[in-house]
Structure 1
Amino acid sequence: MTRQKNNYDKVARQYDWLSKLVFYRSLENAQLSLLKFIPAGSRVLIAGGGTGWILERISQLHHNGLFITYVEISGTMILLSQKRNIKENSVEFVHLPIEDFTPEQDYDVIITPFLFDNFIPERAQPIFWQLHDALKKGGLWLFADFYYDKEKSRWWQRLLLKTMYTFFRLFCNIEADSLFDMSSCFEQGKYTVIHKRFYYFGFIQSIAYSKPA
């Protein structure tokens, strides 16, 4: 039986603990810094939300009125996410790879937390345009992921990145073995950067993009 690519089932229950062991709270903080941009009453698509802790933090800012679609390939991650306190918001859990998800509506906000680092460029680009088409004009794309510049980044970042890919390819069948610079896609889509911040000595980036109106 062929193993499903980019599926974190095997490490789902340990994922948050592992991420804090290596990055302390940098992965979490990179995502938290973006949540303030979510308007009240929004339709939100979260692609690859992991264990769902982000749902609780969003619900602390918006106790009600949000309509969230939560797409996640890992069944175990979905089960963990369904136990979260979402207050009076509405969340639809979709157990699918994001590339197989067909939106039935347009969204005000799309959140992709550490999603694209899983994909090779040939697959990352079509997924970007698939999500681009699902985002309303003038909508917000909240993007958090790892960042590596071959000319400027530090040697230990290259080593850490290689170690991460080796680990997750072994346990989660990650298809990628290097980072693809997604900024080129956002440039092609003519997105505007309204917020940008780096964490963990520049190894993690947090960006809020606005789609052209």
Structure 2
Amino acid sequence: MNNNYDKIANYYDTLSRLVFFRSQLNAQINQLHFIKKNSKVLIVGGGTGWILEELAKLCSEGLRIIYVEISAKMIALSQKRSYKNNTVEFINLGIEDFATDEDFDIILTPFLFDNFPQQRAIKVFEQLNGYLKNGALWFLVDFSLQKKKGKWWKWLLLKSMYRFFKLLGIVEANRLTDMNPYFLKRNYQIVEERLYYGGFITATIFKK
């Protein structure tokens, strides 16, 4: 199944830290303080669910979280996390098969769009845009080739990553889609942007 990390679910966090140390982790947690108590949160592609514990450190109660993840093994690992008195609904689906009438105060998409070819990435963006309230926040964390400094090694590393995941039959994309133009086209404003791992990882908070 495309973009399903079942094969490496038990090793994903270890592999991530071997390559990126704490950069992927820090890129996802350093801006969580923008999330207010009693927010309704949509997390798409949350992986092993450690982000739930980080959210619980900031808000031990009051969050209502919808957790959409295509990997059944990732869901199983996530369900074992301690999220204290927050409410979490786990949904084992690919995001394109998920539908809801609810709207959200926060959307988190950690390393989601790098999985998709451009047209599917745009389709998922438009879908999620429809779930976010006006004035609400979207936390986009992903790889980036937009900064010129060190672009050669970033390109080489990204190419190696795609090749590795292709060999495992996991990821369908062959190249990275820059999502910023689609946010700006929809008149999102950048609240904060932080760079990690020499600018290869970008964490951006967009306000709708």
Q: Is the 8 A contact 1:8 1:172 kept in 2?
A: no
Tell me the alpha carbon deviations over residues 41-74 of structure 1, each in whole angstroms, 9 at most, x when there is no partner. Answer: 0000000000000000000000000000000000
Q: Deviation at 1:89?
A: 0.3
List gaps (5 residues or longer) in structure 1: none
Identify which of 89, 93, 98 aligns with 1:92: 89
Please state if 1:9 is matched with 2:24. no
Query: How many pairs does the alignment contain?
Result: 208
Q: Deviation at 1:100?
A: 0.9
TM-score with structure 2 setting the length: 0.97
Q: Deviation at 1:153?
A: 4.1
Paired position in structure 2 for 1:27: 24
Q: Deviation at 1:75?
A: 0.3
C-alpha separation between the residues in 1 aligned to 2:103 and 2:46? 19
Q: Is the 8 A contact 1:9 1:172 kept in 2?
A: no
Identify which of 122, 127, 150 aligns with 2:124: 127
Paired position in structure 2 for 1:76: 73
C-alpha separation between the residues in 1 aligned to 2:74 and 2:170? 16
1:6 partner amino acid: N
C-alpha separation between the residues in 2 aligned to 1:47 and 1:17? 21
Secondary structure at the aligned position of 2:128 is classed as helix
Query: Following superposition, which runs of at least 4 residues in structure 1 exceed 6 angstroms of deviation?
Result: none
Tell me the alpha carbon deviations over residues 133-185 of structure 1, each in whole angstroms, 9 at most, x when there is no partner. Answer: 00011010011000013855432111110110011122243111110000011
2:197 partner amino acid: Y
Paired position in structure 1 for 2:139: 142
C-alpha separation between the residues in 2 aligned to 1:167 and 1:65? 40
Paired position in structure 2 for 1:195: 192
Q: Is the 8 A contact 2:147 2:199 kept in 1?
A: no
Please state if 1:167 is matched with 2:164. yes
Identify which of 98, 104, 108 aligns with 1:107: 104
Tell me the alpha carbon deviations over residues 3-48 of structure 1, each in whole angstroms, 9 at most, x when there is no partner. Answer: x100000011100000000000000000011211111100000000
C-alpha separation between the residues in 2 aligned to 1:95 and 1:49? 11
C-alpha separation between the residues in 1 aligned to 2:123 and 2:196? 28
Identity of aligned residues (%): 53
Tell me the alpha carbon deviations over residues 102-150 of structure 1, each in whole angstroms, 9 at most, x when there is no partner. Answer: 0230000000000000000110001001000000110100110000138
Secondary structure at the aligned position of 2:11 is classed as helix
1:174 partner amino acid: V
Secondary structure at the aligned position of 1:139 is classed as strand
Please state if 1:182 is matched with 2:179. yes
How big is the alpha-carbon RMSD for the aligned residues of Structure 1 and Structure 2?
1.1
List gaps (5 residues or longer) in structure 2: none
